Every structure is written in C-alpha cells, then in structure tokens.
Amino acid sequence: MGSMFRSEEVALVQLFLPTAAAYTCVSRLGELGLVEFRDLNASVSAFQRRFVVDVRRCEELEKTFTFLQEEVQRAGLVLPPPEGRLPAPPPRDLLRIQEETERLAQELRDVRGNQQALRVQLHQLQLHAAVLGQGHSPQLAATHTYGASERTPLLQAPGGPHQDLRVNFVAGAVEPHKAPALERLLWRACRGFLIASFRELERPLEHPVTGEPATWMTFLISYWGEQIGQKIRKITDCFHCHIFPFLEQEEARRAALQQQSQELQEVLGETERFLSQVLGRVQQLLPPAQVQVRKMKAVYLALNQCSMSTTHKCLIAETWCAARDLPALQEALRDSSMEEGVSAVAHRIPSRDMPPTLIRTNRFTASFQGIVDAYGVGRYQEVNPAPYTIVTFPFLFAVMFGDVGHGLLMFLFALAMVLAENRPAMKAAQNEIWQTFFGGRYLLLLMGLFSVYTGFIYNECFSRASSIFPSGWSVAAMANQSGWSDAFLAQHTMLTLDPNVTGVFLGPYPFGIDPIWSLAANHLSFLNSFKMKMSVILGVVHMAFGVVLGVFNHMHFGQRHRLLLETLPELTFLLGLFGYLVFLVIYKWLRVSATNAASAPSILIHFINMFLFSHSPTNRPLYPRQEVVQAMLVVLALAMVPVLLLGTPLHLLHRHRRRRRRPTGRKEDKAGLLGLPDASVNCWGSDEEKAGGLEDEQEAEEPTVNVQVESFHRRTQPVHRHCSQETCLSSIPRRSLGPLAVGHRQPLTQFLSL
C-alpha cells in the first residue's frame, strides 16, 4: 500500500489487442484488476456494438439461471457459495454451459408439471374416497328400510303425469366456507324436493397447489326428478364442488379407490425423488456457472468499449492504469497473448483529461477513506484528508460522547468484532444492520478508545463523576470562614463557594474536570462556558490545519501564485478573526481571576464590538490598547476578502494577456509539443477539471471571458475542496460540539434524581 498522502499517479495506456487473443487478454486483466477501460464507442448505441450478440447470449443464460434459482429456493434449498478460482470461460465453453443449463431447466419444468398433475389427481381420489367413506347412513338407511317402497313415490301426487320418481343421489365435496350458502341455495331452488346432508371430514387434506390443509365438507343429496337433478348439478357447478358418482355398492368401489390412491402416491414419491435429484444437480452446477457467465458478460462489455483498428486485425483499448502497475500490466498481456501465438502491446500515451483518483487502502483505512469519499472524491493527486480523518473523526466523536463507561462498552464491542473478523460466520451474515456495524468496526474501535480518554477528562463514568485525585475545592474552608453553622445551613438551601475566600480553591484539578462540579447546581454554567470555548479552539485549529494542507496542493500543481493570493489571505482572515478569538479566550483564562470577577470582561461583547466598531463602557478591556489592535485586525481581514475573490482570476488574466502578446513564439512550441496527431482516440473532453500543471500548454485562442469563467470555476472548486477538507476534518459544526457533549450527561442525571 503506497502512502495515502495523495492519490497515485495514473497513466493513460493504449492497448493493442489482436483479435484472436483479445478475449483472453481482457479476461486476464479483469482477474488482476489493474485497469479501468475508457469507452471509445460512446457515440454508438448499445445495440450496434460489436459484441452485442455475445452479450445477449449471456443475458439469456442469466435468465435461465434466475429461473433455476427460484426453483431451488421454492424447494427450500440453499445454493452453496461458489468456491475456488473461476475465470471467465473461453467462448466455445459457453455453448456447453448453455446446453447443460437448458437441459436442466427443461427437466425441471417437466418434473414440476408432472408433480402438479399427480398431486391434483391424488387430491381428487382422496376426496372421492372420503366422500364415499362418510357415513351418510341415516339417509341411506331410510331409503333401504322401505325396501320395495323405495321405488314408490313418497308423496301421493294429486295426479297428472309424473317424471321418473326414482331417488337419485348426488355425492360430492365442497369447501367448508361455501357449505352453508350451498345448503341454503339448494333448499330455496329445489323447494324441498331434496334431502341434503352435509358432513365434515375428520382430517384435513392438502391443497395440491398451495399446500394448505383444508377440511372439506362432503354432502349427499338425494333427490327425485330429472329437472331437480339438473338444477342441482348446475348449482354445484357454480360452487366449484367436486361431484363423484355414487353407488350403493360401496365396498368394491372403495377398495379400488384405495388401491388407486396408493399407486398414485408411489408414483408421486418417485417423482419427488427425481425432482430432488435434479435440484441437487442444479445446486452443484449453478453457482460456478453464474460466476463464470457474469465474468464473461463483463469481458464482452469491456470489449465493446474498444474500437477496431483500420486493418480489422486488432482492437484498440484505452485504459487508465496506475503508473506503478505498468510492468505488471505488460507482463499480463504478454503471458495471455503468448498462448494464442500473437502479442498484445501496451504503451503509455499522454492525455489531457484528468486521470481518475486511485488510493490503495487496506481493511483498516478503507472505512475512513469511505467516509472521506462520501463528502466527495478528491481530484487527481490532490492531498488526501483520509489519514488525518483516521484520528480526527473519532476524536471529534469522542468530544461529543465523552464517557468512560459507555466508551469502554463501545470499545469492547468493536474489539470483539475485530478479533473475530476472520471467522466465516461474520462474513456470511445476511443482516444489513449487522453488516453496517461490522464494516465500521475499526471506526467504532477508535471512537470507543477516544471516548474513554475524553470521558476521563470530562470526569464522567456512566454519567457519574469520580475522584481519582482529591478535589481542588474545599467546602470546609468556605464553611469555616463564612460561619456556616448547622442552623445557617438549615435556613439556606443553596450556597455558593467563593474562590476569593482563602483556602476555598486550592488549584486546578490535574486531570480533567473537578468532581465537585458534578455535585453543584450551577455545573452547567461552568461546563457550558468550558465546552463552548473548547469547541471554538478545536474548530479553529482544525480549519487552520486544513488551510495549511492546501499549501501542499499548490506546491504540487506548480501554482505558486496561489500561495500568495489564496493561502496567505485565508490564513490572515482565519487567524486574524478567529485565531484572535482563541487568543482572547486563553488570555482571559490566564489573566482574569476571581479577585475582580464581578467586573470580568465579556469576550462575547468584545468580539461583537470588534465587528461593529463600537464600544461598551461597562466592559473593561482585557489589555491596554485592545480596541486599536482589534480595529486593525478587522480592517486587515476585510481587506483580504477582495484579494481572495479577485486575486487569482486577475493573475491568470494577466498571464493570459502576456501570452497572447507573443503569438509567433507560441505557435512553434505548440507544433513541437503536440507532434503526435491527437494521440488519444477520445481526447477532447471539455473538462473544466484539467490538471493544473497543463495550464501553460493550453491553446491561446480562448476568449477572455472563457479564461475568467474557467479560472473562476477553478477558484470555486478549491473552495469546494477546502470546504470538503474542512468539513472532513471537522465534520461537525464546532458550535454544536458543546451542547452535544453536555446533552450526554443529562438523561442519566435526570434518571438518577428520580
């Protein structure tokens, strides 16, 4: 891992890939992860590119894979993760994979279909058996006992020709929630010319498609009359009932049904065994195939970004590659093209565009670099704020968190995660919340560690203070010297210790905040003032650090004028106003004591008056001639503002004008510099973000307005960068540090005072 101070040097590399070896070369480069391809066919739509057929084949395969994956998941099985090294397969293997997958998919579809059909059949048989098995005996008994009179009408019809009055039966099964409705409808429609008995099955049957158990109601309807029969059939059709033929000689029928259903269950068992075999083969085949096809698709997409040379013998690719990796790149190309007997070439070409930013990180620095990149990825070879963020981000968190006990818990939790990070169980966890915590384990570790330290300084352990050293405030001295007898104490509920009294204040607590403050009712007055001033000091220090980091940028890009026109004014403005505020704070801490506390100067009023150029008579100065000094500082700082805004643009304008006045000299230089005819195939990006070093080689034909606009863009971008650097380094507005630090303690204090 190189230094993280600034991003690495990245070069534009042109690759010449002979068509025979193009696929292997790109696949090899993909495995190594050395390059980023630039799209040379940006003007061509995705459907007109060279390798679109292959990409489409891969996508169809992926569709089949999705189907197989769904089937596996439906069966409740889990796909094992792919193991081992799986490079993209050569194109001729794609056919084999395709065939195998298609065959598996077809088999799976067939088996599933068969299984469905069998289950439906089984369900029917089971229903039939159940219907027959139900003893609707009273009805049958009633019909049997009459014996011969079975065929005689039960009612003596008043006359007229009658239909066939034999008793007929309809037997079937209906879903339980429809049964009452069916019964009512039958009664109303057939006007009593039927006898229906409904009975529920003892055990539920599984629905063939959904697998849910349902208890069916079987019914036996005895009726007479053909028309009634038709009505009944229509009604039962409506209700989607299953109707089975009903005969009195049940026994043989039932035995036959039993046998049939047993056979069917055997066949079903066989089918399901075969299905699990197929699924097993899918489990074996699918994961590596998915990885391989995805890689193959990626290779073809990369190849689509290359352009064809005029002789159609090789592909030209333009890639960004780290300068350090160039030898490795050339070796990889040599190796992979040697197999085909051709040779691929890579050489570096100059580029006008800004290369991408590459910062190599390890697992520790990766999370901090991620935080910094979330605010904005730095420009090419700009100073990287991440190494400083490793400490300042957890430190500023700890300033707000500041508790020994809670910090220790956080530290131990993060330590557990860090020590167990290589266990496979950790990486395989699916829970997103856990993944978030696990990804930030090093951040949590540092935050916990710093929180323990700031907790000691704030003197808070689970929001309670501890006396590691004896307190610096003596209550007894105050009591003795002010005559605080027990009677006096009983009369007054609140009394204040006065540091003016001898022996009351014995010196500052050596490590942190004195524990007496946790017992005081006015602890917030002291702590608020302390934390606000602390936030200001920390904030100013951070911002000054950010401005100083900018110096490295200006030196590296050769823009020394910015040192004078930007860094100096920025530092003057920052330190002249807010650095002076820090000075006032520290001066007051050191020089103003309790002797004249009543007339102690207020820094806030002084600071406000400084900007308003006014004077408060009740506020005494901190040092002689303070107003003069302050006036000078404000004028100086305000004078820096136009320098900041106009300095660099005017300087660049001046330089541009100076260049235009010598046109002849420049033309020759231009020809010599750009001797190669447009080395890059895709070079004229109208990027505003050109690397500063190329400034001097720009075309001199630009209109004045353009220069102004461009330099203004370049002016605001560094401000952006500064803002981002500063916001990275002091990622919380410094004013909110105080209240957040105070707020930590309040809830527990409230809770304990209940």
The one segment of 136-144, 273-281, 471-479, 737-745 that binds another protein by CB under 8 A: 471-479
Q: How far is the CB of 598 from another protein (least distance, A)?
A: 9
Q: What is the DSSP letter of 245?
A: -
Please tell me whether residue 530 binds another protein under the rule CB under 8 A: yes
Q: Which is nearer to another protein, 494 or 671 (CB)?
A: 494
Q: How far is the CB of 49 from another protein (least distance, A)?
A: 41
Please tell me whether residue 519 binds another protein under the rule CB under 8 A: yes
Number of residues engaging another protein in binding (CB under 8 A): 85
- The correct pick among 397, 473, 578, 580 for binding another protein (CB under 8 A) is 473
Residue 233, both tokens: 């059939």
Residues 104-163 that bind another protein (CB under 8 A): none
Please tell me whether residue 75 binds another protein under the rule CB under 8 A: no
- The correct pick among 30, 87, 133, 472 for binding another protein (CB under 8 A) is 472
Bridging pattern class, strands 205-206 and 213-214? antiparallel
Q: Which is nearer to another protein, 497 or 650 (CB)?
A: 497
The pattern of x and - marking residues 577 through 616 that bind another protein according to CB under 8 A reads ---------x--xxxxxxx-x--x----------------
Please tell me whether residue 67 binds another protein under the rule CB under 8 A: no
For 319, list phi and psi in degrees, rounded to 5.
-135, 155
Q: Which is nearer to another protein, 541 or 740 (CB)?
A: 541
Please tell me whether residue 460 binds another protein under the rule CB under 8 A: no
Q: How far is the CB of 597 from another protein (least distance, A)?
A: 4
Secondary structure of 271-289 in the HEC alphabet? HHHHHHHHHHHHHHHHHHH
Q: Which residues contact 398 (CB under 8 A, 6 or more apart)?
A: 407, 447, 450, 451, 453, 454
Residues 303-362 that bind another protein (CB under 8 A): 362
Q: How far is the CB of 446 from another protein (least distance, A)?
A: 9
Q: In one letter, which amino acid is 652?
A: L
CA distances from 602 to 581, 584, 598, 608, 616 (A): 12, 10, 11, 10, 10
Q: How far is the CB of 553 from another protein (least distance, A)?
A: 17
Q: Which residues contact 35 (CB under 8 A, 6 or more apart)?
A: 13, 29, 319, 320, 321, 329
Q: Which is nearer to another protein, 410 or 729 (CB)?
A: 729
Q: Which is nearer to another protein, 125 or 513 (CB)?
A: 513
The pattern of x and - marking residues 475 through 514 that bind another protein according to CB under 8 A reads xxxxxxx--x-x--xx-xxxxxxxxxxxxxxxxxxxxxxx
Q: How far is the CB of 741 from another protein (least distance, A)?
A: 11
Cβ atoms within 10 Å, residue 477: 16
Residues 392-411 that bind another protein (CB under 8 A): 392, 395, 399
Please tell me whether residue 541 binds another protein under the rule CB under 8 A: yes
Q: Which residues contact 344 (CB under 8 A, 6 or more apart)?
A: 15, 16, 17, 18, 21, 25, 333, 334, 336, 337
Please tell me whether residue 622 binds another protein under the rule CB under 8 A: no
Q: How far is the CB of 486 from another protein (least distance, A)?
A: 7
Please tell me whether residue 538 binds another protein under the rule CB under 8 A: yes
Helices 441-458 and 386-401: angle between axes, nearest 10 degrees: 50
The one segment of 174-182, 218-226, 426-434, 465-473 that binds another protein by CB under 8 A: 465-473
Q: Which is nearer to another protein, 391 or 429 (CB)?
A: 391
* Buried b / exposed e along 220-229 (16+ C-beta atoms within 10 A): bbbbbbeebb
Q: Which is nearer to another protein, 525 or 746 (CB)?
A: 525
Q: Are 722 and 375 within 8 A, CB to CB?
A: no
d(CA 532, CA 113): 74
- The correct pick among 457, 564, 644, 683 for binding another protein (CB under 8 A) is 457
- For residue 559, with 0-12 CB atoms within 10 Å meaning exposed, 13-18 middle and 19 or more buried, which class applies? buried
> Vertex 610, ends 607 and 616: CA angle to 5°?
85
d(CA 122, CA 474): 92
Residues 2-21 that bind another protein (CB under 8 A): 2-5
Q: Which is nearer to another protein, 121 or 626 (CB)?
A: 626
The one segment of 246-254, 320-328, 516-524, 700-708 that binds another protein by CB under 8 A: 516-524
Q: E strand or H helix at 432, and its extent?
A: helix 432-439
- The correct pick among 380, 517, 573, 580 for binding another protein (CB under 8 A) is 517
The one segment of 163-171, 257-265, 537-545, 670-678 that binds another protein by CB under 8 A: 537-545
- The correct pick among 277, 284, 525, 704 for binding another protein (CB under 8 A) is 525
Q: Which is nearer to another protein, 201 or 399 (CB)?
A: 399
Please, what is the end-to-end C-alpha distance for the chain in angstroms?
55
93: Cα within 13 Å, side-chain hemisphere: 8
Please tell me whether residue 466 binds another protein under the rule CB under 8 A: no
Please tell me whether residue 516 binds another protein under the rule CB under 8 A: yes
Please tell me whether residue 526 binds another protein under the rule CB under 8 A: yes
- Tokens 């409705």 locate to 181
Residues 661-700 that bind another protein (CB under 8 A): none
Q: Which is nearer to another protein, 490 or 705 (CB)?
A: 490
Residues 375-394 that bind another protein (CB under 8 A): 387-388, 390-392
Q: Which is nearer to another protein, 1 or 155 (CB)?
A: 1
Distance of CA 739 to the CA centre of its chain: 30
Distance of CA 328 to the CA centre of its chain: 33
Q: Which is nearer to another protein, 428 or 521 (CB)?
A: 521
- The correct pick among 14, 454, 680, 725 for binding another protein (CB under 8 A) is 454
d(CA 383, CA 385): 6
Beta bridge pairs of residue 214: 205
Residue 725, both tokens: 């650097």
Q: Are 164 and 226 within 8 A, CB to CB?
A: yes
